[in-house]
Amino acid sequence: MKTTEKMAFQDILDAFLKAPSGLIKFSAILKSAFETASLDEGQKNAVVLHLCKGSSEPREYAKINPSLMTAMVSNKIVEKAGAEYGRCLLAKALSRVFSASISKYKNLTAKRIFLNDLADVSEVLHKLEWIKDIEEIRQDKREICELLAVQLRSLLKQGWTPDKELNERLEEAEAEFFKCINAMEKLTGFRRGSIGRYSEKPEIVSFFDPWHSENRRTKWWGTEFYPILNVIDIQPPYLYFDALRKGLLAREAAHLFSHKALDKIEWIYEQSDYCAHRILEDTDEGEFWVFARHGLRQESKNIDSMGYYARRESVVGKDFVRELFSRVNSIGRVHPYLDDLEYETIIDTLALKPRTVRLNDKELEIMRILISNPRISMTTIAQKMGFTLPTTRRMFEGLSRKINLWFSASVDVNQIGLSEHFILLKVHPGKEDLITDLLWDMPYCARIYRAYGPLNLFARFNIPFSAEHYLRQYLQQLRRPDLTENYAVCEVQDSYYNVNLRYYDVENSRWDVHWDEWGLWLKGISL
């Protein structure tokens, strides 16, 4: 470790040692001591109960397990607790950087760059080695790190301690949480307690939970809900970062409204993240949440879950979340648990619901410009309309959300060596599933649908020119008394597919889909 890092940590450790005793300081030491003390489940529960009650009296914990007090006075334990405690100083400094800087950004792009950079720096809040990590990212995020260093020095000079502000921050958190609960009622159409885990007013507390740890696999980071006690514990570092605290409380409110039928879905936390985004919509904290909501969670960094819900909401309208909760609640009455595919089916089915979209004159003008030249730059659009670039960009993004706007390339499949064929088959009763499986075994099959009439199965194939004979040979083999009675083949003369440009890999200059997919969402069997 560099000398400057040692000096910085020594300043924080000195501040920690000088700070008066309180729940935050005590729980930081207690958490660090648990690695050397052996407790059974009953003792662990007793410790959590005391912490939830706000007790920082060492004698109360000595009654639970005398070895705890012995461990808490170790120099190594105290040093580790100082690093935990220092995360609260870091959070307070980050909160000050956010508050002092956010109003300066009038340009939308510059504001988002700032929020994204601040979220990247905020990730060190999750780590005990946060001072070392800040030094490592200082070169890439120099401006924010310098502002952060100024605020940290100011806090140390003022003798700021998290325990002095604890009650004030908890009062704010409680008011914010119930504002989020009210927002969830409006968003979902359900009263509190009528869906999910919300039973009565939970208590908001903050202490270092000895068993709460965060890494790249942590889903519900930042908070811990104790359902038996009906207590929500905000881990101290996040309590003091106002913008991040509001996002976590909004997510926790959404989590408490989530139907129990969704408990086994791996990525259901994404639904709560999106609801939190909706609760904080059109606020600086809401914009920050989009970037900071992942924590260290690597999985959600690789998935555009906000886009997944937002695109479907743009089709369904602002009642999308209300409709989703209503459908899940209705189905959850007869299905104790839904799986991932059933949940996605509900969402995608909602997106099939048509809605009327009304565009104003400015939005229509943008559409006319795009129709005449889809590749036009945002700068040129701004010039044509007579608006500033940030205003035009904001209008464009609003239009994109409103009408689910996206660009595609029209691909002539004949030019890439494929021909499209439509197949109609007369399948004997009871053989539909078997024929479907046999057709899916062909690598060229793109879609299968049930049809009604003399021919009762419809399939679509994309076949290389060199293998066109293969299709008719295969269909002829299926024409057996026990399988199919008849079939018809139609070859499409001019076949074009709209390929979503979201799937274009810019770095490798190629489409990130297989040749036989081309935006068709394979295996989407409508049977």
Is residue 232 within 8 A of residue 223, CB to CB? The reply is yes
What per-residue confidence (pLDDT) applies to 507? 64
CA atoms within 13 A on the CB side of 43: 14
Question: Is the predicted pLDDT of residue 263 greater than 70, yes or no?
Answer: yes
Most confident segment among 42-51, 366-375, 464-473? 42-51
- 353 bridge partner residues: none
DSSP secondary structure, 390-415, as one string = HHHHHHHHHHHHHHT---EEEEEGGG
Distance CA 160, CA 89 (A): 8
Residues in contact with 157: Cβ distance below 8 Å, sequence separation at least 6, in sequence order: none
- The rounded distance, in Å, linking the Cα atoms of 14 and 161 is 12
Q: What is the mean pLDDT of residues 114-119?
A: 94
Q: Of all residues in the chain, what percent are helix, strand and coil, respectively (each to 5)?
A: 55, 10, 30
Per-residue model confidence as pLDDT tens digits over 267-311: 899 999 999 999 999 999 999 999 999 988 888 888 888 888 988
- Any bridge partners for residue 235, and if so which? none
Question: Contact 271/347 with Cβ under 8 angstroms?
Answer: no
Q: Partners of 224 in the beta sheet?
A: 233
Confidence class for position 397, pLDDT limits 50, 70, 90:
confident
Percent over 70 (pLDDT), the chain: 91
Provide the sign of the torsion angle of the four alpha carbons 64, 69, 74, 80, taken in this order: positive
- The 10s digit of each residue's pLDDT in 172-198 is 999 999 999 999 999 999 999 999 989
Per-residue pLDDT at 62 exceeds 80: yes
What is the number of residues in the chain?
527
CA distances to 432, 455, 458 from 450, rounded to whole Å, are 9, 9, 6
pLDDT for residue 355: 64
- 4-8, 38-42, 234-238, 332-336: which has the minimum mean pLDDT? 4-8
Q: Which residue has the higher pLDDT, 74 or 52?
A: 52
Minimal CA–CA distance to 276: which of 293, 259, 262? 293
CA distance 76 to 309: 47
Amino acid symbol at 281: E
End-to-end CA distance of the chain: 63
Residues 351-387 pLDDT 10s: 776 666 778 899 889 988 988 888 889 999 999 999 9
Position 39 scores a pLDDT of: 82
What pLDDT is stored for residue 413 in this prediction?
72
What pLDDT is attached to residue 501? 57
Q: What is the DSSP-derived secondary structure letter of residue 506? A: T
Angstrom distance (rounded) from CA 508 to CA 502? 14
- What is the pLDDT at residue 172? 97
Among 189, 165, 309, which residue's Cα sits nearest to residue 242?
165
At 193-231, the pLDDT tens digits run: 999 989 888 999 999 999 898 888 888 999 999 999 999
Q: Is the pLDDT of residue 266 over 80?
A: yes
pTM: 0.74
The pLDDT confidence band at residue 525, using thresholds 50, 70 and 90, is very low
pLDDT at 328: 93
Structure-token pair, residue 55: 């007790």
110: pLDDT strictly greater than 70: yes
Burial grade of 494 (CB within 10 A; 0-12, 13-18, 19 or more): exposed
Distances (CA, A) of 319 to 228, 315, 484: 33, 10, 45
Q: How far is CA 506 from the centre of its chain?
A: 24
Pairwise CA distance, residues 69 & 59, whole Å = 8
More confident residue, 509 or 363: 363
pLDDT at 473: 85
In the predicted model, what is the mean pLDDT of residues 475-491?
Answer: 85
Tell me how many helices (H) and strands (E) the chain has: 23, 11
Whether residue 8 is predicted with pLDDT greater than 90 in this model: the reply is no
More confident residue, 7 or 227: 227
